[in-house]
Structure 1
């Protein structure tokens, strides 16, 4: 575990920024000490790395939060894009460096502005953003949620939370039982009706995320009691035939 001060020194991200990421739910610490100090584990540091790489692609923080919390988030795809962007940045810097060296060594005017052209970088970032926004589920959710008011969204999330609360009294039951499996179906139906088509594959990915630690696990355990997130995941695995 690392303290917020240690993470700041390691990554170059200010303590104030890390605190802000926690406040907006972008990067939650692995745990808090009794005194309220933030502690970060390797999983949290990996997530911070992903956040910083997406910032290099100039994504807004709210979009980064949505992307990295998706059940179908593809880390390999993200890294490939970020490698491509960094290679373009390297080329851009080398062009500027070569121009500066030329001007210094020759001491003559050279009216060449091609080294300042950042259009390839801009186009790459644009295409990367378009790719992350092109999944059918993302489009469907964007369409359904575009007219939501804050009050409606809060009510919807409260309804969704109740489904997890109802799992709490079931923890002692067999996750394969008809009652528990019917509760899993409620999750799938709710997401499909209100957000996007929730296939079994997407549901399974969500289940892994629910039990994967961090904010999701913590919140679900608050709704249904300690162990609820893991129980839901086990029930989803059975529901999805995994």
Structure 2
């Protein structure tokens, strides 16, 4: 079936002006009716517009969408699959949060009381969802799907005691890292403690820790500005991530 610009705009819930702009920039080229010169859109164009709308829903910029539309079908499918994984994680988190909230409200109104582990289940799911959103793609590329899944399962299975210990370990890590970031003494006991605490923190979720993987993570910290922002923001110093990476490279042997 061939659509006019008005028909396709109505079908896709976009404006004709948007479709004309997409045609002008080559994002969604239109055919021309040989009789009147009006824009027309084939079934292939409909499929292409659906893909564009998906990428828009996933908050890709127009420049990113143009680049994605130039990739192979297999590469586009991989991007869609990755977005589905993120959506599923978000859905699961919201379901867990809603269920936990319902049980909390019931308990506060005299209903069955929750265990300590159940009280914190939603927050663990939130951490998983946030991590998936920010770093899921990179983690799979570096470590593989099986390793990522195993790490997520280990984190989700943490007891209330272990979950609290993980939070305390990270808090201690940030305190020590701030001191070393200020002193820049990588041979100090504080620097060695930073390494020990970071390794301990990783092992709450890593099933197969190795120094090599730890050093690889340090490289990722330096290469990805999102990791850099996290540690710099937590410590409150602009070179905290760089300091942490240097400590890992020095002691992870």
TM-score, scaled relative to structure 2? 0.45
Structure with more contact order per residue of length (Cα contacts < 8 Å, sep ≥ 6): 1
Structure with the higher helix share, 1 or 2: 2
- TM-score w.r.t. length of structure 1: 0.47
For the pair shown, which has the larger CA radius of gyration, 1 or 2?
2
